[in-house]
Amino acid sequence: MNRNSNDDKHAHERRRNREKQERRKERYCKERDELEDQIEHLNRVVATYALKLSLSWKDVALGMLDGSRHVQQSNAYLKRKYAERKRVAFALWKWTLSLSRRGNSAELPLPWNRLRLMADPSARKHGLDWYSKHIYHNTDALLAFEATNTRGFVVDTIVRYGGNDLSDIICRGQLDYDLPLEQVYKTGKHKIQALSKARLVPFFCDEISPEITSTIDSSMSYRRIVVSPTESLMYVTREFASRDRIVVVMGTFADDDILPQSPRWQPRMAWHILECTGPKSTRLTVMTYNGPYFEHDKMHTWKECLAASPELFMHTAVSSFEEYKTMLEIQSRVLVSEKMKQFELHN
């Protein structure tokens, strides 16, 4: 009985071992077939690409040479850009140093700066763009300074004392039209341009750097008026337009690195402002600012200005600033009135 039981046990183990071997063999054969298929597939791939993409060492070297040239060109380009940016940064740094505030008086809300335009094209472009925008963004501040609710023809001037016998002057002229903004602008545009571009002045005037101003704004111009052998007026003009307002600004530079130095100059700014005040009404406001004259870096006092132009004061004896202020404001109102009459529109 025991012998039969042992035989059955051994037979069961042999059968189980045989089944394990058969399963192992089957798994082995399957893995071998899969690996052979992969080997065959890779051999075909290698054979295919070996025929099409086989490169000699010479071809590899030429490819690396082309890559090296590209890297060298990129490196040279970046170095040029770096040198250009460095040059512009240095020019702008020199320009900021040129904004001298020597002699300024803290009492004056509009301090005068000795603005210098650099020779470098990029710095020149930045300078013209920044200064014209600077004047434009001060439009509302100047209008608030000379605010009025009066309608019609208005002329006013303010001569301000800044201490140390220094003074400046702000003038305002105003006209109202019973016409829409677009019509007034279309009719009077040429008059504003004639004044802002110095077409009416009896002095030599030439346009400077048009190749730069044209890249900033088509309405911008930069001009020089030669007033005398010792005085030149270098100024930028630009138009800023929105739906309800058109502003033409003007501002002077004291120095220009590509032009002969002008020993005598005066800081000047001007605003020609057309505003829509109703569906069929428009207001023109002309604002001008003139600082004291500079001559060889020295500012003229009001007494020196008086001595230099006695005819403006009808050779009247003036002994105090108040008398000077009164006389200058009277004369300025006359000049502003004459100027504003040029903007009258006649049917």
Positive or negative torsion for Cα 142, 273, 289, 263 = positive
Q: 168: domain CATH number?
A: 3.30.530
b (16+ CB within 10 A) / e for 239-265:
bbeeeeebbbbbbbbbebbeeeebeeb
Same domain, 142 and 253: yes
Angle separating helix axes 57-98 and 121-136, nearest 10 degrees: 50
How many structural domains are present in the chain? 2
Q: Are 287 and 196 members of one domain?
A: yes
Say whether both 220 and 299 belong to one domain.
Answer: yes
Q: In this structure, are residues 118 and 131 in contact, taking their beta carbons and an 8 Å threshold?
A: no
Which of 32, 50, 68 finishes a domain? 50
In a domain, 135, yes or no: yes
Q: What is the pLDDT of residue 101?
A: 45
Each residue's pLDDT tens digit, 73-121: 888 888 888 877 777 776 666 666 555 444 444 444 455 567 889 888 9
Contacts of 305-312 with C-beta under 8 Å, sequence gap 24+, read: none
Do residues 129 and 215 share a domain?
yes
Average pLDDT, the chain: 82
Asked, for residue 245, whether it belongs to a domain, the answer is yes
* Residue 80 covered by a domain: no
Instruction: Answer yes or no: is 107 within a domain.
Output: no
Residue among 2, 344, 3, 31 at smallest CA distance from 174: 344
Q: For residue 55, is it within any domain?
A: no
- The pTM assigned to this predicted structure is 0.66
183 and 329 within one domain: yes
Q: Domain range spanning residue 287?
A: 121-341
Same domain, 5 and 144: no
Query: Per-residue pLDDT tens for 290-323?
Result: 988 888 878 889 888 888 776 666 666 778 899 8
Is residue 275 assigned to a domain?
yes
Q: What is the pLDDT of residues 122-136, one digit of tens each?
A: 889 999 999 999 999
What does the buried/exposed string (b/e) look like for 204-218 if buried means 16 or more CB atoms within 10 Å of the residue's CB?
eeeebbeebbeebee
Q: Say whether both 240 and 328 belong to one domain.
A: yes
The model's confidence at residue 283, banded by pLDDT at 50, 70 and 90, is: very high
- Cα separation values, 331 from 94, 138, 155, 207, 306, Å: 40, 26, 12, 31, 13
Beta strands in 81-131 (DSSP E): 116-117
Burial of 43 (0-12, 13-18, 19+ CB in 10 A): exposed
Q: What is the pLDDT of residue 171?
A: 92
Does residue 183 lie within any of the structural domains?
yes
In a domain, 207, yes or no: yes
Measured CA to CA, the distance from residue 338 to residue 200 in angstroms comes to 14
Whether residue 171 is found in the same domain as residue 22: no
Last residue of a domain, one of 9, 27, 50: 50
